[in-house]
Amino acid sequence: MYKNTIEQRLTSYGNFLLKRSMVQPGKGKYFVSWVRRYLNSERSFKGQTWEEKLPQYLDRLAGEANINSWQVDQAEQAIRLYFQNYYAEKKFPPKQTAAHQAYAGQEDAERYNRNQAMEDAREWMRIKHYAYRTEQTYLGWCKRFFDYSEQCKGVDQAGNVLVTPQLIKDFLAQLASSANVAKSTQNQAFSALLFLCRNVLYIELGDMEANLRAKAGKKLPVVLTPIEIKNLLARVSGTNGLMLRLIYSAGLRLSECSRLRIKDLDFEQDIIFVRAGKGDKDRATILAKQIQPQLQAHLKRVKELHEQDLADGFGEVYLPGALNRKYPAAPREWGWQYVFPSAKLSVDPRSQKTRRHHVSDGTIQNAMKKAVRASKLVKPASVHTLRHSFATHLLLNGVDLRQIQDYLGHKSVETTMIYTHVVKNMRNPAISPLDMLDKMTGC
């Protein structure tokens, strides 16, 4: 009787995985097999919860001669999906809250109007002054979750979709197990759904807020050597080359470089002022002397373009907040223009005004990829690698860690200290015992 109950439950579990798209096609049977194997052996760990039994079971599994490490990982994933997602839903149905009635009908208090929820989420993000990119990213994750809900649970006659804490948990599990997204991507999706639940749907996630974030391990950044930097920059010219040199010379993020304005360059003091950087923080960093002649020549061309825009009845640029109302003439002033403007005029997605925006980040990213290929680098270098290289090379030249922290705009010096580990490996590295064998053996 007990064996029949297990098999019925495992069949239901397999259907659950397929319906929620939690595993890739054809792999559901392996997940069911791992759970069957665990359930048949779990009685040897009496008096413990499944979370306490699991590490012991996995250790025993890893000790078997015919089991590979990837199979142990798959077994762990299958068992966790069984208890945390399938079994939890069957045993503990999600609770309803009175606030559900804001969107839901009286018959089904767990269903919400997705279009209204998306509009309210957008409005709340603008009230809280979220960056436009953050707004688009969060709305994208909300849309993917609503699509997932429709796929799993369907929609009612009014077009409302189901939203429960358990379904959110299943969606994130599906991202990790089936879509194989990175931990940072999973956390980004969770942050978007957490914002939706807190500010729009008023759903309490309880302990899930602390338990559903993926723990990312510490990794060393990719850093190029000075010779590699020199070879790479030699293979890119024009405005793209100027931007890459500026990013490396000042330790800028890509978005910070593309959004630089004329007024933020101080040629007399060799300083670049970064406005509203990550975390909406301002800071000052280095303006290299070597780059200034090329930058001045570039600004001369930009000014000619701006004057032509003014003559054509355009010439406005986006201003943050309410500055355009406070200073009506400022959007046309030279100091507020972007250092690296776009080649084309475009319509602002929020104000619907035709303006010359800053250059697209994709343009400089493509230029970086071509330069990496041309210089035959095997390191997975990106534009952000130049910022890592900036910090590491300053440390190699004896610049104080606190000063580098200010240049980079890090909130904590512990974030900046990651570069000390890179420098430790680059400066006077230890000699491998393999290279000392002859010396140690006297040969």
Catalytic positions, written as ranges: 253, 278, 384, 387, 410, 419
What is the C-alpha radius of gyration for the chain, rounded to an integer number of angstroms?
28
Cα-flanking dihedrals φ and ψ of residue 109, to 5°? -80, 5
**CA atoms of 85 and 78, how far apart (whole Å):** 10
Residue carrying the six token digits 């250059």:
359
CB of 50 within 8 A of CB of 83?
yes
How far from 64 is each of 32, 54, 58, 273, CA to CA, in Å? 20, 16, 10, 60
User: Please, is 92 exposed, middle or buried when counting C-beta atoms within 10 Å of its C-beta (0-12, 13-18, 19+)?
Assistant: exposed
CB of 120 within 8 A of CB of 99?
no
Q: Determine the residue type at 158.
A: A
Q: Determine the residue type at 114.
A: R
**CA atoms of 322 and 129, how far apart (whole Å):** 12
CB of 146 within 8 A of CB of 112?
no
How far from 273 is each of 136, 292, 410, CA to CA, in Å? 27, 15, 15
Identify the H or E element spanning 161.
strand 160-162
Cα-flanking dihedrals φ and ψ of residue 125, to 5°? -65, -35
- Tokens representing 51 are 């979370």
**CA atoms of 114 and 289, how far apart (whole Å):** 54
Q: What is the DSSP string of 195-260?
A: HHIIIII----TTHHHHSSPPPPP-PPP---HHHHHHHHTT--HHHHHHHHHHHHHT--HHHHHT-
How far from 160 is each of 121, 145, 151, 166, 202, CA to CA, in Å? 16, 13, 13, 17, 16
* Plot region of 193 (φ>0 → left; ψ -120 to 50 → alpha; else → beta): alpha
